[in-house]
Structure 1
Amino acid sequence: MTEKTVTAAIVTYNRLELLKESLAAILAQTKYLSHVIIVNNMSTDGTTEYLDSLNDERIVVYHATENLGGAGGFNQAVRLFGEQLQDDFVWLMDDDTIPEPDALSHLVAFTLDHPEVGFVNSQVRWGSIDGNPSWMNVTAPRAFTWQRYLIDTEEPAVEVVNSTFVSVMFSREMVAMIGLPQKEYFIWGDDMEYTNRIADIKRGYMVMNSIAVHKSKENTKPGDIVAEVDDSRLWRYNFEYRNRILTARRISRKEMIKVFSVAILRDLRKTLLKKNVAFRAKKLGVITRGLWRGLFFNPTIEYAEGLRQQKIKSLRGAEMDLLD
């Protein structure tokens, strides 16, 4: 059998030193790596000049001419993978992701051993290989499957419901079936929505031996507006709540009602009533505007040119059959 090939893809913005470290770690992978796509999201810190100076034939650079946001950057990266390259898998990560040298080989090996898999992602640590889990990259195990890991601690992977775009890999066939990441999300939540789409037809797994380090500034929980103390970050939560509602809507009406209710009863209520909440009035406006916009937000899913095939049946139908 011909060895499988992988395109790694990084979206970067003004983090040149971290980008250099991330790229070096990717190029040091022991097996399967064929290309590296780098989407430069209008960086102004010398990233453009650095990328233009590289002469490695494996590297494909895309300089954006407008601010695409993280979501638009990953949309463009997967589009380039689908339209310009012929590799079997695409492996996505931020510019502050430092994978271990064998991280990719473990992802591919598990996928080849389990061809029914839709996506695989690494176990992500924060700051260093010995650091705590990176909380923003921790995804929930699928209900009614996690109990077996209490019995068999030698399981090579844990089934998860979705994944962030920090060391996640999926196949060309999957891109053809579900399309591209939703660029209109701009920032936050595009990874969850996209891997939810994958998991609707094939399952996702966190491969335990595949390790990546996420060198984000802080190890914070995702989307915690109540605890947010940086006024300059609040604009991001407009997208968080809008995107969260659409992601839930695409799962089911029941899930949308649940997510909307949690946002009102937990986030809005805590922001209103909890003592010493920073920027209280501003946060209340962000939550209500974001939720309202989410009810009407429904951008079309795009496909890479020449890369589209019919979906297989949704697994949710099979789940409902089992529950009936």
Structure 2
Amino acid sequence: MSNKQVTAAIVTYNRLDLLKESLAAVLNQTEYLSHVIVVNNLSTDGTAAYLDTIQDERVIVYNSTENLGGAGGFNKAVQLFAEKLDDEYVWLMDDDTIVEPDALVHLVDFIEDNEHVGFVNSVVRWGTKDGHPSWMNVPAPRGFTWQSPLNSDNPGVEVVNSTFVSVLFSRQMVSMIGLPQKEYFIWGDDMEYTNRIADVNRGYTVLKSVVVHKSKENSMPGDIVREVDASRLWRYAYEFRNRILTARRISKRDMRHSALGAIRFELPRVLLKRNVKYRWQKAKMIVGGVWRGIWFNPKIEFAAGMQSSDVRSINAILRAYQLAHPTERMTLDREIELINHCQLEDLKGINQATDRFIMDYKVQMANKFKK
């Protein structure tokens, strides 16, 4: 067991009863917890008054003067962690996340015991610990390599990204990739951010770390076709806009697939499937969201004094290697070796195509991140 210290961060908006339960569970962790940041997104249900009564010195409260949305709340939480505290890790969650007493210890032990880990998340159940999986928080395992760390006392499954319902990453990672994208406002900021992390070092679901998500419904993520709650419709305009930028930051090809997928598959289902409620409002949100997403490209910001120059991209390394060795048959073992040990600079000087790609990539990154 290490002596690492962790800051938990909870973003809350008008769910006081759940916040009380969530905060109590976090403060009841068995190991590692040092601080808890609570970002109150201008709640109107007595949340601020309740937070004023807390005497536990570990709790740090930020009462926002505006509703920043979930994305803005997590942006502020990570910024406060980076600029005001010295803990090694930050652990993010919503105010309806109820963590088991040993959830944190399994996350920290896994990330400390395994090399090249960018983030770790928990297994998320819905309603109760024995409930079904929380479908909106089930991450996709990465093909073939997902079972690599299974044979250990604290197993993990490699995943492509994660929601902000119990995800942990390091201070060093924040310095390398910046802050969550506050401009998303709601939905998708967690996918984009953990995609960024996984392009530096991969992410894992730690199977022994369990939390409960007490969301109102156990719905699928972004399922606009089956949505029946009129009060939630406005969120889908953000969903489709944000989805395009998230895909673009993987590749232009992913962006095209994401945009075309929304128009070719989700839009016809909304318009033609039987018994779809609010079909015209939904169609407008899909088309408008995709269109805005094509032009939506806010820069990534960093916490003050925390922009690292020692940043690598797995995707860029693999692409540069392909250019440097165009006739080589890439095996999965070779790919894993490159991911774990290669730097982009190691591939310079092999041929002009590789050098040109590396130069263009560096220019692209300089334009992407805010100085």
TM over 0.5: yes
The equivalent of 1:5 in structure 2 is: 5
Aligned residue runs from structure 1 range 71-82, under 5 A? 71-82=71-82
3-state DSSP class of the match of 1:176?
A: helix
Would you say the 8 A contact 1:120–1:205 is kept in 2? yes
**For structure 1, which segment, 85-94 or 136-145, has the greater mean C-alpha deviation from structure 2 after superposition?**
136-145
Shift of 1:155: 7.2
Shift of 1:251: 0.4
Q: Is 1:286 the equivalent of 2:265?
A: no
The equivalent of 1:32 in structure 2 is: 32
Shift of 1:285: 0.5
Shift of 1:312: 2.7
3-state DSSP class of the match of 2:302?
A: coil
The equivalent of 1:205 in structure 2 is: 204
Letter paired with 1:49: A
The equivalent of 2:161 in structure 1 is: 162
Q: Is 1:87 the equivalent of 2:77?
A: no
CA separation in 2, counterparts of 1:94 and 1:313? Answer: 30
TM-score by length of 1: 0.96
Counting aligned pairs with the same residue, the percent is 65
The equivalent of 1:138 in structure 2 is: 138
Higher relative contact order (CA 8 A, sep 6+): 1
3-state DSSP class of the match of 1:256?
A: helix
Shift of 1:317: 3.1
Q: Mark the runs of 5 or more structure 2 residues left unpaired by the alignment.
A: 323-328, 331-371
The equivalent of 1:107 in structure 2 is: 107
Q: Deviations over 1:42-62 (max 9, x none)?
A: 111111100011111100000
**For structure 1, which segment, 228-237 or 139-148, has the greater mean C-alpha deviation from structure 2 after superposition?**
139-148
Would you say the 8 A contact 1:127–1:215 is kept in 2? yes
Aligned residue runs from structure 1 range 203-242, under 5 A? 203-242=202-241
CA separation in 2, counterparts of 1:156 and 1:78? Answer: 27
Would you say the 8 A contact 1:48–1:63 is kept in 2? yes
Q: Size of the alignment, in residue pairs?
A: 323
3-state DSSP class of the match of 2:203?
A: strand
The structure with more radius of gyration: 2
Would you say the 8 A contact 2:147–2:158 is kept in 1? no
CA separation in 2, counterparts of 1:43 and 1:169? Answer: 25
Shift of 1:143: 1.6
Letter paired with 2:313: S
3-state DSSP class of the match of 1:295?
A: helix
3-state DSSP class of the match of 2:145?
A: coil
TM-score by length of 2: 0.84
Would you say the 8 A contact 2:154–2:208 is kept in 1? no
Would you say the 8 A contact 2:126–2:213 is kept in 1? yes
CA separation in 2, counterparts of 1:75 and 1:26? Answer: 20
Q: Mark the runs of 5 or more structure 1 residues left unpaired by the alignment.
A: none
CA separation in 1, counterparts of 2:317 and 2:158? Answer: 17
3-state DSSP class of the match of 1:23?
A: helix
Q: Deviations over 1:35-86 (max 9, x none)?
A: 0000000111111100011111100000000110000000000000000000
Would you say the 8 A contact 2:148–2:157 is kept in 1? no
Q: Against the structure 1 CA distance between its residues 46 and 295, is the aligned structure 2 distance closer, same or farther, given a 3 Å change threshold?
A: same
Shift of 1:260: 1.1
Q: State the superposition RMSD in angstroms.
A: 1.7
